[in-house]
Amino acid sequence: MDRTSGEKGLAAGVPPSDGEASTDLVSYSRELEDVSLRAIVDDTARSRIQWAAPDGLEIAGRGTAVRFTATGADRFTALRTQADTTFDSLTHNGPRVARPRAFGGFAFHDTHDPTPPWSGFEAASFVVPRLSVTRSPDGDTWLTAVDTDPDAATDRLAEWAHTLAETPPMQPVGSRPGVASTRRPTSPAAWADGVTAALDRIDGGDLTKVVLAQSLSVRLAEPIEVPDTLERLRREYPNCYRFLLNQEGSGTFFGAPPEQLVSKRGDRVDTEALAGSVPRGETPEADDEHAERMLDDDKLRHEHDLVVDAIRTQLAPFADDLTVADRTIRRLATIQHLHTPIAATIDADSHVLELVEALHPTPAVGGVPPDIAWQTIRRTEPFDRGWYAAPIGWFDGDGDGEFAVGLRSGVATDETVTLFAGNGIVADSDPAEEWDEVQLKFRPVLDQLKR
């Protein structure tokens, strides 16, 4: 429901007290003319977030009003408990579209230990920004300030409204940083061995599918400006999500995922299966030929159907009704996927984090059955996935929210960007073909780094 001035509403995992009379959060919002979201995320010394969804919602934030973290197998429940405490005591003075939200994500594994390049990224971590700009799908723009001190919040609101009004709404995009060198922890031979071992488990009957990934360490010729890279990704992949997440003492995780994990608005839930892929063609005719080959390929259809069936099963306990749409083709700049939208009606009091916990990891990034797939991934991959292929997004005090899958992504630290990409292994997978497809999935971010 809308939170209007004077109403209790959204958020509060508990912020540090610092001697204030109250640790309850209060937020204020004011409408702006069109402004540059880039100005909010330019300062790399501060915690910053950026989120953009295909429906047009864009949010940029800086600073930390409150942070929620959790580890271990109960991290989803623990995080929600912290957030409920905060949001239940937060007073929001402004329209619902500008309400405070918690932004962040989860590590792929609940046993994640944050080591480089993932230093500072806990097994679960979300922040409510002290300051955020929200651009709604309707084109309205709102500035929101959050604090335990109402005067501090209103002062910050006025200061940044003036700063943004003085900043040109269109910001130039800098040049690409350039690639000095690359390093692969996984050699083609090691990849072939890992895929062959997975196929042996599949042939043995205890594994149906597993997604194996690679990392690529890219040393840059010059330091990266991640917001510039994100803007270039927007131009190349306008129908994908975009995100940027960093906290003080951490690198910057960013990407342009094509895949929605889940969206909850009241009693409406949307998700999708995105699995099975082929390259784009150099001509419209070649493009259509690739697409037809994908639709006719038994292996790719089987891989896709495993994801659809798993999502249907995982959502069933929550859903009053569930609709699986017809399979279509999702075309992106360098790759095309089999795509099936899925929608459900659920109890509006359910929390989006319950759905995230139920769905992660889908077979599109993990495998079937999940436990055996996870074991195979940990045994095979010579690196920590960190937040790669994990839920990235936001939630609010009503339990609504939206999450993407952290694909087509990288983590930037100093002058290095570590990229991640993977592919589904099923019966009849060919190690060489799977290697080639993984390299294709590195391209969205890698192309934006090269000069």
Which pair of structure tokens corresponds to residue 137?
A: 């799908």
Residues 221-234: tens digit of each pLDDT: 999 999 999 999 99
Residue 15 has pLDDT above 80, yes or no: no
Residues 324-345: tens digit of each pLDDT: 999 999 999 989 999 999 999 9
What is the distance, to the nearest Å, from the Cα of residue 179 to the centroid of all Cα atoms in its chain? 25
Phi then psi dihedrals of residue 68, to 5 deg: -115, 130
Is residue 270 within 8 A of residue 262, CB to CB? The reply is yes
Confidence of residue 171 (pLDDT cuts 50, 70, 90): confident
Confidence of residue 169 (pLDDT cuts 50, 70, 90): confident
Pick the more confident residue, 225 or 248: 225
How far is 239 from 331, CA to CA, in rounded Å?
10
Confidence of residue 22 (pLDDT cuts 50, 70, 90): low
Confidence of residue 44 (pLDDT cuts 50, 70, 90): low
Residues 89-106: tens digit of each pLDDT: 999 999 999 999 999 999
Residue 124 has pLDDT above 50, yes or no: yes
Domains along the chain?
A: 8-165 (no CATH), 179-223+257-449 (3.60.120.10)
Check residue 389 and give its pLDDT.
98
Residue 379 has pLDDT above 60, yes or no: yes
Is residue 409 within 8 A of residue 189, CB to CB? The reply is no
Buried b (16+ CB within 10 A) or exposed e, 166-184: eeeeeeebeebbeeeeeee
Cite the active site residues. 209, 259
Phi then psi dihedrals of residue 365, to 5 deg: -130, -15
Question: Angle at CA 124, nearest 5°, toward 128 and 246?
Answer: 55
The mean pLDDT value for 384-403 works out to 98
Is residue 104 within 8 A of residue 129, CB to CB? The reply is no
The mean pLDDT value for 392-404 works out to 98
Is residue 224 within 8 A of residue 417, CB to CB? The reply is yes
